[in-house]
Every structure is written in C-alpha cells, then in structure tokens.
Amino acid sequence: MAGLTLRNVGKRYGALSIIKGLNLDIHDGEFLVLVGPSGCGKSTLLRMIAGLEDITDGTVAIGNRIVNDLPASKRELSMVFQSYALYPHMTVAKNLAFGLQNFKMPKAEMERRVAEAARILQIEKLMDRKPRQLSGGQKQRVAIGRAIVREPQLFLFDEPLSNLDAELRVQMRAELASLYARLGTTMIYVTHDQVEAMTMASRIVVLRAGKIEQVGTPQELYTRPQNLFVAGFIGSPKINMLQAKVDRASGEAVATVPGLPAFSLPTLPSADDGLTLCVRPGAVHIGAGEVMTQGTIRLVEYLGNESLLHIALSSGQVLLVSDNGKTSYRSGETISIGFDRSDLHYFDAAGQRVEPIQNESRLQ
Amino acid sequence: MLTSCALQRDRRERNGRILKHVFLIGVSVVMLYPLFWLLASSFKPENEIFGSLTLWPSSFQVENYTKGWTALPMSFTTFYINSAIVTVLSVIGNLISCSFAAYAFSRLQFTGRSFFFALMMMTLMIPYHVVLIPQYVQFLKLGWVDTYLPLVVPRFLASEAFFIFLMVQFFRQLPRELDEAAMIDGCSPFKIYWAIILPLSLPAMGTAAIFSLIWTWEDFLAPLIYLNDIKNYTVPLALRLFLDQEGQSAYGQMFAMSVLSLVPVVIFFVLFQKLIVRGIATSGMK
Amino acid sequence: MIKRFIARNAPGYIFLSPWLLGFFLLALGPILASLYLSFTKYDMVSDPRWVGFANYEYMFTRDRRFWKALEVTFTYVALAVPARLIMALSVAMLLDKGLRTIGLYRAIFYLPSLLGASIAIAILWRQLFEQNGVVNQVLAVFGIEGLAWITNPDTSLYTLVILAMWQFGSPMLIFLAGLRGIPRDLYEAAEIDGTPKWRQFTRITLPLLAPVIFFNLVLQTIESFKTFSSAFIISNGTGAPADSLLFFTVYLFNEAFKFFRMGYASALAWVLLLIIGAFTAIAFLTSKYWVHYENERD
Ligand SMILES: Nc1ncnc2c1ncn2[C@@H]1O[C@H](COP(=O)(O)OP(=O)(O)OP(=O)(O)O)[C@@H](O)[C@H]1O
Ligand SMILES: [Mg+2]
C-alpha cells in the first residue's frame, strides 16, 4: 500500500495541453474519486499514473519513489478498465492468474490468491469459461478479480461500472465499497456518476480542462463548493444560480435579483459589482422561507420519494425545487416559494466562493 | 389485386434468379474447363490429347504419372523435397518477421513510426525486377547462388511487405486496452506480442501462412535465377524442363506433373477457403 | 533524457529490426545500387565501368527492342486491367444480390487466380491456344477456322490478356466486400422512387464503390506491369514470336541473365520503377477528383 504524490504534473500532445500542472497528495489507503466533465482529462491523468501515458511535465511518486520513468509493468498497481479488457482467449482462471505468472509467483501462492479472489467475488463457478460466455456484470467481477489477485499497492478504476445497467451498477457499487473496506488499499476511481462519487469517495477531486477545481470530502464539496463550477457540478438535481446586483446606497448591502424581492446580504469580504447566489433545489421551500416570491409551475417531475418542480419566476428564470412528493402539483399553478439566507452560497464575479463574515449581526 | 401483383413480382424474381444461375453456371464451366482439360489430358494416351473436345480418356494412362515422375534427369521426389524445404522455411520466415514488424507498426509507440510505415507501404509497389540485379550480384559474392539462402533469408527479413500490411490491418482491430491491461499485468512488449496479440490473431496468421505457402510454392523467377544445378530445382523449374524437351512430345507426362504441382494448392484452397476469401476481402491483395 | 528516449523507442525498433535490416539490404540498398549500375557497363566479369548516360541514351534513341517492350507491356496493361476489372465487377454484382448460394461460385471463380501464377497454368495455356488446341476445336464447332494463336505475333498477346481475364477472382472478392458495404436501403429508396436499374448503377453503385474501384485499379495496374512468369513460359523465355510477347520484365531478365548486360538491365529496371511510380502517383493525385470516401462527405 502506498500514497501517491503528484507535483506539477502536466500532459501535452504537441501544443495541446491536456493536464495543466496538477498538485495532489493522495493519502495511503484513501478512496479518491476523480470527477469532471467529459474530456477534462480524467482518463489521461489516471493513465499517466498507471504508466500508460508519458508524463510530459512534473513528477508522479508512488510512496516515496518517483515513477515517471518506470514502465507500467513495474509500478505494482492494478487497473480496471471501462471495457473490462479481459483477455478473450483465456479462461477466467487464466485471466486471473496471468498477471501473477508474469511476476513469477510460486504456484501454490498463485492458486491461493486466485481462489481467494474468486471466493470474494463469487465467480468460482465461472472459472472455466471464456470471457465471451460471461454477462456484463460477471465480466466486471472478473476484471476486478484480476486487479485484486495482484494485491497491488494501488488500484486504478476508469469508469468501471458505466457499461452496466442501473441495477447491476448499484449492486457492484456496494460490492466495491465493501471490497475497499476489506482491503483498505489506496484506490483512484474515475466516474461520471455523482452517486458513485458521493457514496464511495474518501475525497473527491473535481477536474475541469486539466485543472483541479477543488479537492475535498463529498460533504465539503457539497456544502462548501469553492467556485461556481464545483457548485454546479456536484449535487443533483443541479443547484440554482441567481445573478444578483448589490446595492449599498442605504449603507447596508442589499441584493436585487430579478424576480425576487430585494433582501439584505450578510457582510461579505468583497461583495461589489456582480454576485452569484446559489441555492440547492432542496433548500427552496414551498410556502416558507426568509426570502419569498411567487412563481408558476412549468413542469413537475414526479420521482416517487420526491418531486422536482420547475418554477418560473416573474423574471422568466426557472428555479428547480425539490419537494417531498407528498402534495401533488399541476403545471400552470402559481405558488409561493422561499429560501433561507443561511442556505445561500455566494460567489464573486470571478466565480470564487465568498464566505459571509459570521459574527456580525445579520438581521435587518 | 395486391396479391396478384406480389405473385407476379415473385415469379419475375424467381425467373431472374434462374437466369442468373444459368449464366453463372455457364461462366463456371468456361472457367473450369481448362483445368478439367488439364486433368483429363494428364490421363489420356498421347494421341488423344489434341484433336478432341471429349474430356473422358478412352483409357486411363496412369503411366503418365509414373513415367513423368522420373522422366527428368532427377526424379520429382527431389523436386518436391526441394520445394517443400524452400516453402516451409519461407513461410516460417514470413510469419516471424512480418508479424514482428506488424506488431511494431500497429501496437508500439516509437519515433519515426509513421515514416517507416509509409516507406513500408512504398515497398509494396517496387517490382522485384528492380532490386533483382544488385541482389543477385550481392548473393553471388556471398557464394549463395545455387543454395536456398537467397530464396529463404529475405523472408526472415520481412521482404514481403504485403504480409506486414495484412497483419497490421488485423492487429489494429484488437482493442488497445488488452495491451494496456497486459502491461499492467507485468508483461514486456515481447510477452504481449507472444501471449496476447499472436493468440488473438490466429486467423490473420493462418491467412498469411496460406498465401505465403502458395506463392512460394508457385514462385518461378527467384528459383530461376538462383538455382542452377538440377538437383536443387524446385517443382516449377522442373516443369519448365519438360518444355525444353518438347520435341520429344511427352505431353501426357508434362500434364500429369503439372496436375501434381497444382494439387497442394488446390488442397489448401479447399481446406482454407474461408481464411483465403476473408484475407483478400479485408486486406485487398493480388 | 536520452535514457528515457531510448527506453521508450527500444521495443519498437527491436521488433522492427528484421524489417529494417531487410529494407536497407534488400530494398533501399539494391535500388540505389541499381541506380548506380544503370550508369555503368557491367558484365559481372570485370568491375562496373562508368559510362554516364550512355545506357539511357542507347535505350531511348537506338534500342528498338526497348520500345517494342514498352509497346507490348502498355498494350497488355491497357487491355488486361480493364478486362479483368470489368469481369470482376460484373460477376461480383451478379453474386451480390438475390442469390443465397454464392460460396461455390465464389470458390470456382477465385480458383484460377490462386493457380494462375503457377508454371503449370502457363504450360496449359500454351497448349490451349495451339494450332490443334482446345480453343480452335471449340471454334471449329462453330465453323470458324482457328489460328496458331501463340505463334502468330498478331494474336499472341491476346492469349495473355485472356489469361489475365480468367484470373479475375481476387478483384472480384474485393468488389464483393465493397458491394456488401453499400447500405441496402439506398437501393430500396431508389426502387420506391422508380429509379431505373441502370441509373441505380451509375448513381449509387459506382460512386459508393469508387474507393474500391480505385484500389483495385492501382493494385491491378502495378501487378500487370510486373507480369513475368506466364509471358516467359509462353514465349519460351525470349519474348517470341517476333518480340510480340517481349514484356518489359522479360526483356530485362534476358538482358541481365542471358546476356549479362547488368548495367543496361539496371537502367531498364529504373525505367520500370519510374513507370510504375508515375502510374501510382497519378492515380493518387487524381483520386480526389473521382474518388469520394464515405466519411469525407459529412
Ligand atoms: N492521443 C491524443 N492526442 C490528442 N489529444 C488527446 C489524445 N488522447 C486524448 N486527448 C484529448 O485529451 C482530452 C482528455 O481526454 P480524456 O480521455 O482524459 O478525457 P476524460 O476526462 O476521461 O473524458 P471522458 O469522461 O469522456 O472519458 C480530450 O479532450 C481528448 O480529446
Ligand atoms: Mg475517460
């Protein structure tokens, strides 16, 4: 087991820069999840760590050892691919043992590990089959099995569950989580799926265009997104964003948002020209809140345990409101909605988070 | 109304199909007739070969075969052994060297890869006649003339770029993640080639082996130039000797030996038709 | 840095090394050597003697056989390539649609291509077109008196063209693969619009097949320029009768290995290389005007 240190890591294809000077410390035994929009460089970064892509700038260290020039075969890590990448011409048993043979492991030890992995993943009955005789979920188990028999110091996963159907994905997610609990090995996990990221991660790294936007625990990212991008990216349904003008004429900072009544702002370190206010759909209440307004329901998405209402304000902006789903609403209805100012996130014109200065009086 | 229309169309289509079959069968007969004529003539008595369209011999002259086999100063046993040696070595050389090159071109990263690939593709165009003279001079200086080395050694140096191209086409279809997974599983590039790429490319290897075999078996120019002593002759060179003795008019024997020289090719064709057809369709060759 | 460069490139070059060695020793080296030899007089007994452009000068100004060889080869290419391709395309189109059992036909039509390069077939061909050969007997059935096709200089080349046509199998297979790639619904749409069959061919089949036709054309042209064995056998190794089968390759072979005029033969070899190179280049340079690849369109 080992931690991982990235220092000014960069990747260029000719003039095109894909990864731009990343710094990141991944702790020993951590489950780190990489998220970000498509094409932001998640796979590239993971493959650089694996040794499948050259590192054009900076250094990657596993433990204390800089591995830039170490080929993938010597990095003592395992990787699970989105496409599974099982060797089509080998049986499941051979697929599992293949890596161990390459490391010249004694036969008895090899057999013990393969049997152990098969038991953990419940694929004992499949050992003599070829990959094409397996279902997607079974293939995924074998792929994971192939990774764990190696007992590596580091696991890499590139969207391992994205080819599975929804139900299997939930099941495999739970199995991966329990596998992590059992092994405690450092894992780096790339995903598109919010739920996977939130439920499994010790920490999440949000990447955009080859740069880190924020690193933190799922809770930190959700409750204190450092910038507008992270605020918009983490959390589903998506956070509501309101453009506000700040008026200081009366001596106190007052926010005017089209479609909402003006309301006073807490003291912000730098709240001048433009301010973006964000509020999660779950923090907007029907018929209650410090700041209240009227809106017309445009669309009701009933999801069972909640309803997602699309509510148009008089300015035309649509807010997402998540309701407990117990009352039924019809589109076209006009209702009043509101939120508490403590649930607002504030971002300056540059999109960076600004924290209200806490201990001053906030009520008008 | 509708059904009668459909019936009519059905009938028209069926007639069209029958017409097509008739035509294709006609073409097939024309295509195959020369081959059957060759086969038939190889069993005919000398005086029946020319002057009649009948394929069936009045009596089967198996002597054409037995006599033909030993009609030349050396028996055909020698020629077949020679041909077999050259062919087997050539096929092995082709498979090893071309799959190496194809693996490098299709799966490995290195500076100059596309440059060399372009060069390789250009060599496909070069006629053998252009490199023949300097090669001959060189092999002569090495003392290789009248040995099989000039025929075989180039095969171990991937001289038939065509097979590289064929294998590259195939290797490229294999998912790259397989190499990567193997790399992470601790494989060296050679191990990946040996344990992953080759086992997954058996159809391509088979196609290359069959074509290489047939072409070497039929090869005429290189043996013609490099082999002087009749005891080194391959089968095609031996067949040509019959022509030189044409005056003695042993047509039946010549045809009999011609038939025998085609037998291995036909057998391989029948056995491996699928591989051959697919190989041509995917790579496009001669 | 250098170590890293080597480590990254080593596997590629190691695997490439047999080919690289072969490329330098068996292709590039000989081509350059042959260029040098083409400016010399060389009989393999004494060392090559530099003669400047004398070989080329003789070739272009005084050597009638050179011009004859060019004429024979170009005539052959001009006849054999279209004949073979038209045959291949027609049969491929017949096989492509509406027939369930094409496997057997495909095999029958391909077999001659596979056997075609063998000496046995060349020998057979000689006999088929003899004065008392099969062809004349068939003609006699229709009351036509045949010729000695092979020994008549006016007709000998056509026997080889027919041999080329007989071997239409591999372009046919490539055409078949190409036809398979044309989406069926294009024809169905045309059928519904009432487009006549001929226009379906010129408006759908031909344009979509253009890349395949191009590919076959280039390949077959190069192959035809290289034709040797059959011409050599049928003409008794000399290009006879009356040089009517004096293929360029046959001429070259005789100059080199019968008369040991290695310098002159090298010059011939370079002319052949340039001709084939020029044809390939022309094909590729003009291809953008008449070959449209599927994915280029959108
Ligand atoms: N060989 C290459 N040459 C040039 N650009 C490349 C190459 N490989 C990847 N890229 C570019 O690098 C960027 C990052 O790709 P990467 O695969 O890492 O994205 P990703 O975050 O994994 O996306 P996804 O979520 O869709 O898998 C993309 O814009 C891609 O186009
Ligand atoms: Mg990716």
* Contact A13 CB / ligand 1 (< 6 Å): yes
Cβ distance of A73 and B180 shorter than 8 Å: no
Chain C residues in contact with B215 (beta carbon < 8 A)? 117
Q: Are A80 and A187 in contact (CB under 8 A)?
A: no
Is the pLDDT at A96 greater than 60, yes or no? yes
Q: Which of A38, A43, A46, A233 to mutate to test the pocket of ligand 1 (most atoms within 8 A of CB)?
A: A43
Residue located via tokens 């089209």: A258
Amino acid B284: pLDDT: 55
Is the pLDDT at A363 greater than 60, yes or no? no
Identity of the residue numbered A109: E
Strand stretches in A43-121, DSSP E: 57-62, 65-66, 77-80
Cα–Cα dist A95/A191, whole Å: 25
B/e letters for A57-89, b = 16+ CB within 10 Å, e = fewer, are bbebbbbeeebbeebbbebbbbbbbbbbbbbeb
Q: Are C219 and B286 in contact (CB under 8 A)?
A: yes
Alpha-carbon dihedral A146, A148, A150, A153, rounded to 10 degrees: 140
Report in angstroms the alpha-carbon separations of A8 from A21, A37, A210, A227, C9: 4, 21, 12, 22, 25
Amino acid B5: pLDDT: 65
Q: Are B217 and B79 in contact (CB under 8 A)?
A: no
Chains with 3 or more CB pairs under 8 A to chain C: A, B
Question: pLDDT per residue over A113-144, tens digit each?
Answer: 999 999 988 899 999 999 999 998 899 999 99
Cα–Cα dist C139/C232, whole Å: 27
Average pLDDT over residues A83-100: 94
pTM for this predicted structure: 0.89
**Percent of chain B clearing pLDDT 90 (strictly above):** 59
Domain layout of chain C by residue ranges? 64-95+102-290
Of A265-279, C165-179, C248-262, which range is least confident?
A265-279
Strand stretches in A303-344, DSSP E: 307-312, 318-323, 334-339
* Contact A38 CB / ligand 1 (< 6 Å): yes
Average pLDDT over residues A294-320: 91
Cβ distance of A146 and B180 shorter than 8 Å: no
Using DSSP bridges, classify how beta strands A186-190 and A31-35 pair: parallel, antiparallel or unpaired.
parallel
- Give B240's strand partners: none
CATH topology for A4-231? Answer: Rossmann fold (3.40.50)
Ligand 1, atom 16, residue with closest C-alpha:
A41
The SS3 of residue A184 is coil
User: Closest Cα partner for A3 from A217, A203, A198?
Assistant: A203
Kindly give the distance from the C-alpha atom of residue A45 to the centroid of ligand 1, in angstroms, as a whole number.
Answer: 10
Cα–Cα dist B226/B237, whole Å: 11
Nearest C-alpha in A relative to C7: A69
Burial of C287 (0-12, 13-18, 19+ CB in 10 A): middle
Question: pLDDT per residue over B67-93, tens digit each?
Answer: 889 888 889 999 999 999 999 999 999
Ligand 1, atom 19, residue with closest C-alpha:
A39
Average pLDDT over residues A304-333: 89
∠ CA(C82), CA(C83), CA(C88), 5° rounding?
95
The SS3 of residue B247 is helix
Q: Are A197 and A157 in contact (CB under 8 A)?
A: no
Contacts of C156 (CB under 8 A, 6+ apart): C149, C150, C234, C235, C241, C244, C245
Burial of A295 (0-12, 13-18, 19+ CB in 10 A): buried
For residues C281 and B279, the model is more confident at: C281
What is the number of helices (H) and of strands (E) in chain A?
A: 8, 21
Q: Are B139 and B145 in contact (CB under 8 A)?
A: yes
Q: Per CATH, the architecture of A237-354 is what?
A: Beta Barrel (2.40)
The SS3 of residue A122 is coil
Amino acid A271: pLDDT: 56
User: Closest Cα partner for C247 from C140, C165, C164?
Assistant: C164
Kindly give the distance from the C-alpha atom of residue C106 to the centroid of ligand 2, in angstroms, as a whole number.
Answer: 45
**Lookup: tokens for B190:** 């050679």
Identity of the residue numbered A51: G
For residues A364 and C56, the model is more confident at: C56
Chains with 3 or more CB pairs under 8 A to chain B: A, C
Average pLDDT over residues A311-316: 92
Burial of C2 (0-12, 13-18, 19+ CB in 10 A): exposed
Cβ distance of C115 and B156 shorter than 8 Å: no
Q: What pLDDT band is residue B21 in, cutting at 50, 70 and 90?
A: confident
Is the pLDDT at C192 greater than 90, yes or no? no
Average pLDDT over residues C98-113: 82
* Contact A42 CB / ligand 1 (< 6 Å): yes
Q: Are C113 and B16 in contact (CB under 8 A)?
A: no
Contacts of B246 (CB under 8 A, 6+ apart): none
Amino acid C224: pLDDT: 93
Domain layout of chain B by residue ranges? 8-64, 71-281
Number of neighbours of residue A106 by Cβ within 10 angstroms: 9
Q: What pLDDT band is residue B62 in, cutting at 50, 70 and 90?
A: confident
Q: What pLDDT band is residue B7 in, cutting at 50, 70 and 90?
A: confident
* Contact A191 CB / ligand 1 (< 6 Å): no
Segment 131-150 of chain C within 8 Å of chain B by CB: 132-134, 137-138, 141
Cβ distance of B185 and A150 shorter than 8 Å: yes
For an interface test with C, give the residue of B9, B41, B129, B179 to mutate (most C CBs within 10 A): B129
DSSP annotation of A360 reads S
Taking each helix axis from N to C terminus, what angle separates C156-166 and C119-128, rounded to the nearest 10 degrees? 130
User: Which atom of ligand 1 lies closest to the CA of A41?
Assistant: 18
Is the pLDDT at C218 greater than 60, yes or no? yes
**Percent of chain C clearing pLDDT 70 (strictly above):** 96
ipTM value greater than 0.90 = no
Of B175, B195, B199, the CB nearest to A85: B175
**Lookup: tokens for A78:** 């395992």
For residues C177 and C17, the model is more confident at: C17
Q: What pLDDT band is residue B246 in, cutting at 50, 70 and 90?
A: low
* DSSP helix, strand, coil percent of chain A (3-state; round to 5): 30, 35, 40
**Lookup: tokens for C25:** 């020793």
The segment(s) of chain A belonging to CATH 3.40.50.300 are 4-231
Cα–Cα dist B33/B25, whole Å: 12
Amino acid C295: pLDDT: 47
Q: What pLDDT band is residue B286 in, cutting at 50, 70 and 90?
A: very low
Contacts of B25 (CB under 8 A, 6+ apart): none
Question: pLDDT per residue over B145-158, tens digit each?
Answer: 999 999 999 999 99
Task: Please count the CA atoms within 13 angstroms of the CA of A58 that sit on its side-chain side.
Answer: 19
CATH class entry, domain B71-281 = mainly alpha
**Contact status of C238 with chain B (Cβ, < 8 Å):** no
Amino acid A270: pLDDT: 64
- Give A155's strand partners: A78, A187
**Contact status of C173 with chain B (Cβ, < 8 Å):** yes
Nearest C-alpha in A relative to B177: A85
**Contact status of B118 with chain C (Cβ, < 8 Å):** no
Cα–Cα dist C94/A296, whole Å: 66
**Lookup: tokens for C55:** 């070989």
Cα–Cα dist A201/A187, whole Å: 9
**Lookup: tokens for B182:** 């193997």
**Contact status of C256 with chain B (Cβ, < 8 Å):** yes
Cβ distance of B130 and C117 shorter than 8 Å: no
- Average pLDDT over chain B reads 88
- Which strand (E) or helix (H) includes residue A157? strand A154-158
CATH number for domain C64-95+102-290, candidates 3.30.110.40, 1.10.3720.10, 3.40.1160.10, 3.10.20.600:
1.10.3720.10
* Contact A39 CB / ligand 1 (< 6 Å): yes
Amino acid A59: pLDDT: 94
For residues A156 and C138, the model is more confident at: A156
Of A7-16, A94-103, A163-172, which range is least confident?
A163-172
Of A73, A77, A85, the CB nearest to B177: A85
Question: pLDDT per residue over B203-233, tens digit each?
Answer: 899 989 999 999 999 999 999 999 999 999 9
Q: State the smallest CA–CA distance between residue C2 and chain A in angstroms.
A: 12
* Contact A49 CB / ligand 1 (< 6 Å): no
* Contact A15 CB / ligand 1 (< 6 Å): no
Kindly give the distance from the C-alpha atom of residue A74 to the centroid of ligand 2, in angstroms, as a whole number.
Answer: 23
Kindly give the distance from the C-alpha atom of residue A81 to the centroid of ligand 2, in angstroms, as a whole number.
Answer: 10
Q: What pLDDT band is residue A295 in, cutting at 50, 70 and 90?
A: very high
For an interface test with C, give the residue of A69, A70, A73, A74 to mutate (most C CBs within 10 A): A69
Q: Are A352 and A230 in contact (CB under 8 A)?
A: no
The SS3 of residue C273 is helix
Tally A–B CB contacts below 8 A.
Answer: 58
Cα–Cα dist C238/C250, whole Å: 7
Identity of the residue numbered C290: W
Nearest C-alpha in B relative to C227: B127
Cα–Cα dist A98/A89, whole Å: 12
Is the pLDDT at B4 greater than 80, yes or no? no
- Give A346's strand partners: A277, A354
Cα–Cα dist A311/A320, whole Å: 6
Amino acid C298: pLDDT: 33
Contacts of A278 (CB under 8 A, 6+ apart): A225, A228, A231, A239, A240, A241, A242, A344, A345, A346, A347
Q: What pLDDT band is residue A272 in, cutting at 50, 70 and 90?
A: low
Cβ distance of A73 and B188 shorter than 8 Å: yes
Average pLDDT over residues A26-47: 94
| Sheet of A240-247, strand order | A263-264, A254-256, A240-247, A274-279, A345-348, A353-354
Amino acid C135: pLDDT: 85
Q: Are A287 and A335 in contact (CB under 8 A)?
A: yes
Amino acid A37: pLDDT: 93
Segment 15-34 of chain C within 8 Å of chain B by CB: 15-23, 25-27, 29-31, 33-34
Average pLDDT over residues B117-134: 91
Amino acid B1: pLDDT: 47
Is the pLDDT at B63 greater than 60, yes or no? yes
Identity of the residue numbered C295: N
Average pLDDT over residues A142-153: 92
Contacts of C295 (CB under 8 A, 6+ apart): none
Cβ distance of B157 and C44 shorter than 8 Å: no
User: Which atom of ligand 1 lies closest to the CA of A36?
Assistant: 21
Cβ distance of B108 and C270 shorter than 8 Å: no
Q: State the smallest CA–CA distance between residue B6 and chain A in angstroms.
A: 43
User: Closest Cα partner for C266 from A305, B129, B42?
Assistant: B129
**Lookup: tokens for B249:** 């008019």
* Contact A41 CB / ligand 1 (< 6 Å): yes
Using DSSP bridges, classify how beta strands C49-50 and C40-41 pair: parallel, antiparallel or unpaired.
antiparallel
